[in-house]
Structure formats: structure tokens, C-alpha cells
Structure 1
Amino acid sequence: MTVFDDEFPAVAELDAGLLEALRRAAKDAARGGVEFSVNSGWRSREYQDQLLREAIAEYGSEKEAARWVATADTSPHVSGDAVDIGPTAAAAWLSDHGAGYGLCQIYRNEPWHFELRPDAVDDSCPRMYADPTHDPRMQK
């Protein structure tokens, strides 16, 4: 889905500031031939729990799964504060240009995951965490 498809809950339930920043970035990227898709945006608690269970099965432990999937209590997707962008060219474009819109890649191991950091427009994006296990917000 594009970042303009408000009828999809994954987009419609996003933080308004995040959605507006994504729309502006997508419009500018499209001028250069780069099309954005929101591969994952807002998620229900139930869906986040399902993703975590699947990650535990895939990676063999909660500790290893935590490098890739947050709990429903800590995931910024559940609160509508994060998006996963695709395809790869769009995520790369946003990694290079996102700070100008306040959109920042948060984790080095997840080049598709972006969150709104309005201060980034003036100050650039904060230093990335290696993965979610290094993010203090995930320690709840």
C-alpha cells in the first residue's frame, strides 16, 4: 500500500505527524522515480503478539527474537509511531533523505524501520541502535 491509502488501518491509525512526514517524503521521492510502500505501519496488539510468537519459533529463543520483534507493550508499531518502508530503494532513499522530514531509521539491523523524530529536521537523526535490544524503550 502507498502512504496515501488512508482506508488501510496500517496507515489510517498512524500518528498524524508521522503520516504527514511520510506523505511529503514520498511525494519528493516520487519526483526522482522512487515509489514508497508502507509494508507495515500500525499493528494491533494481537498481530504484534503473533509476530513475536513467530519470531521466537524462527529464532529459537525470546532473546534472539527480541532483536527483530518487540512485544505488544513496547512496539512503536502498536502505538502508530513506526513504519516499515519498502521496497529497498525507497528505504535507502529515506535513509539518505529522511532527516529532512524528521523521519529516522532507528535500528541498524532494520533498514526498513522508520520513526518520526521532528528534531532531526534541524539536528539530524539520532545515532542508531544496533537492534531493538539496545533501545531503552524496549526494556519495559
Structure 2
Amino acid sequence: MNHSRPARTATRRIRSTTLAALVVVSAPLIGVFVYQSLASLSSSGAWSIHIPHGDHLPDRVTVFDDDVPSVANLDPDLLGALRRAARDAANDGVEFVVNSGWRSPDYQKQLLREAVSKYGSEAEAARWVATPGTSAHVSGEAVDIGPIEAAAWLSAHGAEYGLCQIYSNEPWHYELRPEAADYGCPPRYADPTQDPRMQQ
């Protein structure tokens, strides 16, 4: 009498059951890990920008707040695209919050000084903060959108509105690329130091 076949079947069942149990136990743990990673990005300041007293943004500024200079001074075409996207995102339960839009040259200088202090050199700071003369924020051609859900929504749908992520290290930073509606967003730069506009 051959008992090897039932033994192999039982072993396979045990392995399958063990694997299924591992998947069931691991999935929530992976979810918690991803959530905590995103939360740490948020709490570390990566998803929010420190606004000094002179350029303070009220809480939860949206792309519809015309009385806030950070919104009102954005390029009209960029603002129009943002508002169209925000209306559609709202249908999915997602609200766009402007963490930073237009910036004054003086504020941009302050951000650059703070970045040099934080990162220890102008070269490293340039990965995160442009000079007033090269910043798309100062020209009103860039916006930083939060919270994480809004940036994720734009990452998935922004090209339809011509709204594109420009830098891989800044998933919250969006600029208008109208051709993206037909051809998709261009490849992202690793960080602003790779952007030819920053070399001026």
C-alpha cells in the first residue's frame, strides 16, 4: 500500500493553508507600514511647507480662494486647469489644498536660506529650493498640492488637465504642460538640479 500520495497532498494543503494565512496576516501589516511611511512624510514636512509669518497661508487654502495671493497670483491657465481638476476630484471625495503657490521673491530667498541651513550646502539645498530668479513658484507657474490623497489623485489624472509632476523628489509639485492632455506628461527630472531652467 502506497501512503506517499496522501502524505504529499496533506503537505501541499498545509503549505497552501500556511501561505494563505501569511497573506492574510501580512496584508494588514503592509498596509500599516505604507500608511506609516506616508504619515512620516507628512509629519517630516515633506508634504507641508513651513510658511513664515509674512507669507502665512490660512488653513486649508483651496484653488478657489481668490483672496489669497498664493492662489490669485498663479498663472491664469495653471489656475484654470487646477480648478477643473479640483471639481472632478471633488466628485471622488478628494479636496485639493494649496500648500504653496505663488511666492514673493523675498519669501523664495528666505526658503533658500533655510534650505542651505537645513541641508548644509547650496548644492544640496538646490535639490529642493530654487533661486528667486529660476523658481516656477515666483513666476506663478507652479503649485504644491496636498494632502497626500490629492497629490495621488493628480498623479493618476493630472495629465488629462495638463497638470504634471515635474520632479521625482517632489510628488506634490505640479506645473502646467498643456500638451500632456494629448501626449502624456514628460519624464520627470530626478530633482530641480536636473532641470535646465534651474541652470540660468
TM class, shorter-chain normalised? over 0.9
1:92 aligns to 2:152 (yes or no): yes
Match of 1:62 in 2: 122
Structure showing greater Rg: 2
Find the counterpart in structure 2 of residue 117 from structure 1: 177
Separation in 2, partners of 1:71, 1:5:
26
RMSD: 0.3
Gaps of at least 5 residues in structure 1 are none
The answer to whether 1:80 aligns with 2:140 is yes
Structure 2 regions of 5+ residues with no counterpart? 1-60
In structure 2, what residue type is equivalent to 1:50? Answer: Q
Which structure is higher in RCO with an 8 Å CA cutoff and minimum separation 6? 1
Structure with a larger share of its residues in helix: 2
For 1:56, the aligned partner's letter is: V
Q: Structure 2: how far apart are the matches of 1:96 and 1:62?
A: 33
Question: How far did residue 45 of structure 1 move?
Answer: 0.2
One-letter code aligned to 2:134:
T
Q: 1:33-87: CA deviations, max 9, x gaps?
A: 0110111000000000000000000000000000000000000000000000000
Task: Give 3-state SS (helix, strand or coil) of 1:104's partner.
Answer: strand
Percent identity, aligned pairs only, is 74
Question: Among 103, 106, 114, which residue is 1:46 paired with?
Answer: 106
Moved >6 Å (runs of 4+): none
Q: CA deviation at 1:15?
A: 0.3
Distance 2:76 2:128 in 1: 25
In the aligned structure 1, how far is the partner of 2:100 from the partner of 2:66? 13
What is the total number of aligned residue pairs between the two structures? 140
- TM superposition score normalised by structure 2: 0.70
